[in-house]
Structure 1
Amino acid sequence: MTSFSKFRDDLGGDVSDQLASLQKEVAVLRKQVRKQSSQVYDDASETIADLIDSFLTNTKGARKELYSKARFVEATAKDNPVATAVVGFTIIGLLIALFSSRR
C-alpha cells in the first residue's frame, strides 16, 4: 500500500510540474501573439496610410479638373437660371417616366 501511495504522490508531482510548465508556455505564447498582433496592426496601418497618400497623389489632377468643371457648371447655372430650371424639370420628368414604366 505504501508503494501505491508513493506512486500516486510521484504522479501528482509530475502532473503539477507539467501543469506549471504548460502555464509558462502559454504565457510565452500569449506574449508572442500580442507582439505579432501589434506588428501586424502597425504594418496594416502603415500600408493603408501609404495607399491613401498614393490615391490622393494619383487623383490630384482629376480632382482639380472635377472641381474646375463643377465651378463652370455652377457659373453657367447662375448665368442662365431659366435654362437651368428647364433642364432640371426635364431630368425630373425623365426619372419619373423611367420609374413609372418599370411597374
Structure 2
Amino acid sequence: MAAKMADAVIPPRRNAQFWEDGHARNSAVLLIKHIGSSVWKKCVNSHQCSLSETAMYRCKQLMGDKLVSRGFNKQHIEAIIKVKVLNRMTGLGMPEYQGNS
C-alpha cells in the first residue's frame, strides 16, 4: 500500500486500543471513539471495501482460490482471463434496458 500511496481502510475492533505514537491506526481508533463506527465507515467509504471483498469471494468460489500456472507471466495472464470471465458473467446477468418506443 505504501508503494501505491494508499491508506488502509480496515476498521479496528470494537475494543481497539492505541498503538505506538504516530501509527496510522491510531487516527482511525480516535475517530471511531469520537464519532462512532457507522459514521466513520461512511466517511472513509467502507462500503466500497465491502463490495470488493464480495467480488473477490465470488471470483474465488467460481474459479478457485489459487493460480494453476507456475511462471509469473503466465499467472498474470491467468488472472486477467479470470477477471474477464467474471466481468462477462456479470454482464450477462445485467438486465437490458428497454425504452418506451
* Fold-level similarity (TM above 0.5): no
| Alignment TM-score, normalising by the size of structure 1 | 0.26
Higher relative contact order (CA 8 A, sep 6+): 2
For the pair shown, which has the larger CA radius of gyration, 1 or 2?
1
More helix by share: 1
| Alignment TM-score, normalising by the size of structure 2 | 0.26
